[in-house]
Chains A and B, each alone.
Chain A
Amino acid sequence: EVQLVESGGGLVKPGGSLRLSCAGSGFTFNGHSMNWVRQAPGKGLEWVSSISSSSRYIYYADSVKGRLTVSRDNAKNSLYLQMNSLRAEDTAVYYCAKSLEPDRDWFDPWGQGTLVTVSS
């Protein structure tokens, strides 16, 4: 069974930093691109970032470019999101999601999410 487990969320002050992790199991981690999607409280879904299986290709939403950095460690079956210069508008549940197939990067499945709250 494919499992994705996020961790690292919490309360942080504006301007602060946080590092999210996502541990994958039950699939060939180094064969799939991985993704981060967030959801602000009571709002819809917002794609944040995607990273290819080898880390060669990385993409970001304009709203996070220059502040959030995605990375992965295939040896550890893990995905990361380094979050710097955090703002109140970054408050959200952050989900990691596996790409459905190597050449079809639909988001399936998703982890349970980790809540990041940016507040003084």
Chain B
Amino acid sequence: EIVLTQSPATLSLSPGERATLSCRASQSVRSYLAWYQQKPGQAPRLLIYDAFNRATGIPARFSGSGSGTDFTLTISSLEPEDFAFYYCQQRSNWPRTFGQGTKLEIK
């Protein structure tokens, strides 16, 4: 099973700042990595797939990078609605696995 480790567990930033979230895989997942956003009481939403492709309707301030074992989700300038939980997920191998999540909170 591929283990995804996200860091940091919690990120405290202010609106307008840049956010950098990390996801590290226990073995190569090539570019088969996605990022999801989840707000309290809501279902997750796909943000980025195949490491760097933005899903439909996702603002350009969200970007993904990386390949192999190290990936990054960057939010260039935080909006108030961006404060939420973020999860990475791989589809390189079965079972599909998620990272444990990063909580992005308002400082």
Chain A interface (Cβ within 8 Å of chain B)? Answer: 35, 37, 44-47, 50, 59-62, 95, 100, 104-113
Contacts and interface: CB of A to CB of B under 8 A. Distances in A.
Contacts of A106: 34, 46, 49-50, 89, 91
Contacts of A111: 43
B43 A47 contact: no
Given A46-B98, A47-B95, A107-B36, A95 B50 contact: no
B44 A45 contact: yes
Contacts of B39: none
Contacts of A104: 49-50
B90 to A, nearest CB: 10
Given A106-B34, A106-B49, A107-B89, A47 B96 contact: yes
A109 B46 contact: yes
Contacts, number: 59
Interface string B29-54: 00000101010000111100110000
Main secondary structure of the interface of A (DSSP, over half): strand
Contacts of A59: 94-96
Interface in B44-98: 44-46, 49-50, 55, 87, 89, 91, 94-98
A44 B3 CA distance: 14
A47 B34 contact: no
Contact of A47 (B38, B50, B98): B98
Contact of B91 (A37, A46, A105, A109): A105
Contacts of A35: 96
Contacts of B55: 100, 108
Given A37-B44, A45-B87, A100-B55, 12 more contacts: A44-B101, A45-B36, A45-B98, A47-B89, A60-B95, A100-B49, A105-B91, A106-B46, A106-B89, A106-B91, A109-B45, A113-B43
Given A106-B49, A107-B89, A44 B100 contact: yes
23 contacts: A35-B96, A37-B44, A44-B99, A45-B38, A45-B87, A45-B98, A45-B101, A47-B89, A47-B95, A47-B97, A59-B95, A95-B44, A104-B49, A104-B50, A106-B46, A106-B49, A107-B34, A107-B44, A108-B49, A108-B55, A109-B43, A109-B46, A110-B44
